[in-house]
Structure formats: structure tokens, C-alpha cells
Amino acid sequence: MKMLINVPETVVADALRGMAAAHPELTVDVENRVIVRRDAPVSGQVALVSGGGSGHEPLHGGFVGPGMLSAACPGEVFTSPVPDQMVRAAAAVDSGAGVLFVVKNYTGDVLNFDMAAELAEDEGIQVAKVLVNDDVAVTDSLYTAGRRGTGATLFVEKIAGAAAREGRPLEQVEAIARRVNDSSRSFGVALSAVTTPAKGSPTFDLPAGELELGIGIHGEPGRERRPMMTSGEIAEAAVDAVLTDLGPRNPVLVLVNGMGATPLLELYGFNAEVQRVLGERGVAVARTLVGNYVTSLDMAGASVTLCEIDEELLGLWDAPVSTPGLRWGM
């Protein structure tokens, strides 16, 4: 496989050096693998810290900035960051108002963020945690016990980040983050396998003419493998899987998310089908976001995330944000 890299061993460090050069509003510690808002800590504001394996960009480092994350900790490709990174990040951004850890439900992330919370509290930093577990495709996978954390991570980080920017206390920011997660569900589809730099070839076999319904963001197996379907048929399968579990009564936020290798031309066409299905199912749409946000390196495919929303959460979603990967209103 051809890749725009030097050697697999330096992929993450090289990306962080490039990020630092492109975004002077961030402080990027390449050696210790921590990305921080340059103006941190922000007095009187709860800080949000997240992180996970690299390969899902712009998640999480691309979401560091006003109105979203205060810091992010990138691990190696598809590998959890370590507790020392998280503690370093928490110390860099804590203003005394406390720190909220946003954790995707993958075993390594959960264990390491739990350990980091204990270490940070030993240093006098007040820490709360929210676990994102929105994927309805499977209950358990190769990487986690329970549901995987996927597209709803963006909703949690954006809406909780807006609450923190308003100066709300830690317990309120945590409660909002939990409410967003509880109100969100996701379902993903893979059209091709993912290729990691270390392996240099697809990590699983997906024959031509087939797709995987319910795939995870590390290439974990989904619910079933089927012959290739049309965009409309895929939208019906994904939306119905989400609605069966979520059953929204209020309008929803919609994220049509590319897995890394699917062009916007296809994603916008897929979004048209998602909107059609939602309309046929009687679900009102408040806002829609389309693009590559929670990716899986070079995997072709898409995921659909819905978040049932009320006026308070919609106001926080619409609030200004300025990060490398998401920005409006500033």
C-alpha cells in the first residue's frame, strides 16, 4: 500500500509536528504527546480533556480550542494514550474549576483514563468522567465491553465544551455531557478495510462486492456482511438500526460521518438518503453535519449518529467554536 509517510514508527510524531506548524493557536508537545489550547488554563472555566488512538482525525486533537476541548492526548495508531499523558494534559488546563475527561468506551481508554483521574486527584485536580458508548451495532467487540464510543463523541465534546465556555460548574458540565451521550446513537458501515501504517495492508478481508454493516472505527466486525447495497438501502439500514434503539420524540442532530476515504460527493449524496429516511419515519431534523470527523484511517464507508435534542442542547450546539476540525460563529 502506498502511504504519505516516512516510516511507520514516526507517523504520529510527524503528524504532531505538522499540526504544530499549521496551528499556532495550539501548544503541541510532540515528545509527551499532548495538544493544548495555547491560552490554557482559562480562568473560571471547566477544562475538557479527551484522547484516544491516532488514526481517527480530526478526533481528538482537531477538536482542541475555544468552545470544545481544552486538551487532547493522542496515542499510537489505534492504541490508547497512557495515564501520564492525561495527567500532564489535566495539569496544563486546570484553572481550579475542575477537569472533565471525555472517554470513548474502549478498554484501554477506560482503564488509562480511570488511572489518570486517580493520579490527577492526588495532585489536587478535581476530575469528573463521562463515558461515550453510542454505537448500537454490537454489544461487545474486540476492543470493548459494552457499546463502542464513536460519532457521539463529537456531540459530547462540542455541547459540553460550550457549557464549560459559559462558565458552568463541573457538575453541570458533566451532567450535560452524560445527557448528550444518553440521547445519542450511532451505526457505521464499511465499504473497504482499514490499513494501518505498521501493517501496510488491509487489516481484514472484505471481498469486492460486499460491505460490512455495523463496523467499528478500528475495523472491528459488525453485525453482518452483505452484498453491496445502494446509498438509499444503506441509509435505511443505518437509520433504522439507530431509531430502533433511540426512538426520539424531539428533533435530532444528525452527523453523517465519513470513515476517512469516502469523498464528500458521496457523503452528501448519502446524507440526502438519510434525510429522506428520517422524513419517512417522522423524525424532525434540527441540524446536520456532514464530513470526515471520526475516521478510521483510509477506510471507505460512513456512520450515522443521531442525538435527540432540546432547546438547551441546541443552543449549546449552535454556540461559537474555533478548532482545527470544527468552527463556526467566531
Task: Report DSSP letters for 101-112, one per residue.
Answer: EEEES-HHHHHH
Active site residues: 56, 218
The owner of cell 463556526 is 328
Number of other residues whose CB lies within 10 A of the CB of residue 69: 31
Q: Are 57 and 24 in contact (CB under 8 A)?
A: no
| CA atoms of 229 and 286, how far apart (whole Å) | 28
Which grid coordinates belong to 285? 431534523
User: For residue 149, what are the contacts with CB-CB under 8 A and spacing of at least 6?
Assistant: 103, 104, 105, 106, 109, 131, 132, 133, 134, 135
181 membership: H or E segment, kind and range = helix 170-182
Q: Are 46 and 64 in contact (CB under 8 A)?
A: no
- Pair type for strands 99-104 and 127-132: parallel
Among the listed residues 46, 10, 2, the one whose alpha carbon sits nearest the alpha carbon of residue 173: 46
Distance of CA 128 to the CA centre of its chain: 19
| CA atoms of 190 and 286, how far apart (whole Å) | 27
Beta strands in 159-277, from DSSP E residues, in sequence order: 184-190, 210-213, 224-227, 252-258
Q: Are 5 and 198 in contact (CB under 8 A)?
A: no
- Pair type for strands 26-29 and 34-37: antiparallel
